[in-house]
């Protein structure tokens, strides 16, 4: 399991979106097969995650498309089968539902159905999670849907470093990757070391402790880190693991930690019912016999009004309370 990287003097300080732009730029420079297609990518994308790329590489490699997610995803699948490595931009995960047939029935299954004769090395970027004051149709966390889908890799980066390194790894992967950046992390800044590789399927330990294991991913990691600070003040030192890749997930790292601490708390922004946390909790309980608990959102649509939106968030107090109960 990768440990949190200690930045060196030459490391860049970049935003989450800037790190993504740099990752795509570097991969386009290294591999002429990499192309980008989607709505508004020419002007940089709605979050600035493609800023300047069309000016650098031209409209034939950074391709503006009509407003049709099915057409965008279908074209990306065809490009991948023809030998290209497309970055397919879905704007947000909620809109990707219009292109699900092409992803689920074509991209994910082609390699299996045709005995490996065809490969679909595309990266489908579909920002997920609660988007502040954007209501139910723009605030969904659907990563468990894709983790349930055989044939795809699922990635959820939480830091600028991981958004750089994991996006580059995704662009080099030979299989379709569902790449879920969080809608509210784009401005988050942090160190980015271009020389630091991060392998798909490897978690990162963000804090070391013996009291209990806490597993999360995406933006929820920030909330978990704040909860860990509060728990440390009470003498409860947490082993905090950022999963980073949901499929394949780092079973070895999680089970090692659970075997050592004897307690596991999984926290995610997604709805708790049938969330991916249940897979982690069940696997850990079966393998190590550890005590388990989960915290996720209630099974309700995300509200527009702040007081309603807050009901769908898993806050520091909930995590601290769950950790205390598990530890006690």
Residue 148 known to be catalytic: no
Decide: 53 and 62 in contact? Cβ < 8 Å. Answer: yes
Helix, strand, or coil (residue 13)? strand
DSSP E strands in 161-262: the ranges are: 177-179, 189-192, 204-207, 212-216, 238-242, 245-247
Query: Cβ atoms within 10 A of the Cβ of 171, count?
Result: 24
Annotated active-site residue in 138, 148, 182, 327: 138
Cis peptide before 248 (omega within 30 of 0): yes
Residue (of 252, 244, 240, 233) closest to 212 by Cα position: 240
Residues in Cβ contact with 57 at an 8 Å cutoff, skipping those fewer than 6 apart? 28
Residues in Cβ contact with 127 at an 8 Å cutoff, skipping those fewer than 6 apart? 47, 91, 92, 93, 180, 181, 182, 183
Decide: 155 and 118 in contact? Cβ < 8 Å. Answer: no
Residue (of 151, 327, 149) closest to 234 by Cα position: 327
Distance CA 145, CA 322 (A): 26
Residue (of 21, 244, 266, 37) closest to 154 by Cα position: 244
Tokens of 253: 């790292």
Query: Cβ atoms within 10 A of the Cβ of 301, count?
Result: 13
Residues annotated as part of the active site: 138
């Amino acid at each position: 399991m990768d440990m949190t990287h200690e930045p060196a003097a030459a490391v860049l300080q970049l935003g989450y979106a800037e790190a993504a732009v740099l990752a795509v730029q570097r991969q386009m420079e290294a591999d002429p097969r990499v192309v980008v297609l989607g709505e508004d990518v020419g002007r940089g994308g709605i979050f600035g995650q493609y800023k300047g790329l069309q000016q650098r590489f031209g409209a034939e490699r950074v391709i503006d498309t009509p407003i049709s997610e099915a057409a965008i995803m279908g074209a990306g699948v065809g490009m991948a089968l023809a030998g290209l490595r497309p970055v397919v931009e879905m704007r947000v995960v909620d809109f990707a539902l219009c292109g699900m047939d092409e992803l689920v029935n074509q991209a994910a299954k082609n390699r299996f159905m045709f005995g490996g004769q065809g490969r679909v090395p595309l990266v489908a970027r579909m920002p997920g999670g609660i988007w502040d004051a954007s209501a139910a149709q723009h605030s969904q966390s659907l990563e468990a849907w894709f983790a349930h889908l055989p044939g795809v890799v699922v990635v959820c980066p939480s830091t600028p470093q991981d958004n750089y390194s994991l996006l580059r790894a995704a662009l080099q992967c030979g299989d379709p990757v569902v790449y879920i950046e969080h809608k509210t992390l784009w401005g988050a800044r942090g160190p980015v070391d271009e020389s630091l590789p991060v392998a798909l399927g490897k978690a990162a330990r963000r804090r070391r402790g013996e009291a209990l294991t806490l597993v999360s991913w995406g933006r929820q990691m920030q909330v978990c880190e704040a909860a860990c600070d509060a728990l440390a003040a009470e003498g409860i030192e947490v082993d905090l693991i950022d999963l980073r890749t949901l499929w394949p997930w780092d079973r070895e790292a999680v089970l090692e930690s659970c075997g050592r601490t004897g307690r596991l708390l999984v926290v995610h922004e997604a709805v708790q019912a049938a969330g991916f946390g249940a897979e982690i909790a069940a696997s850990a309980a079966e393998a190590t016999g550890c005590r388990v608990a989960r915290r996720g959102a209630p099974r309700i649509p995300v509200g527009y009004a702040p007081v309603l939106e807050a009901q769908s968030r898993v806050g520091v107090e909930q995590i601290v309370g769950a950790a205390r109960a598990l530890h006690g």
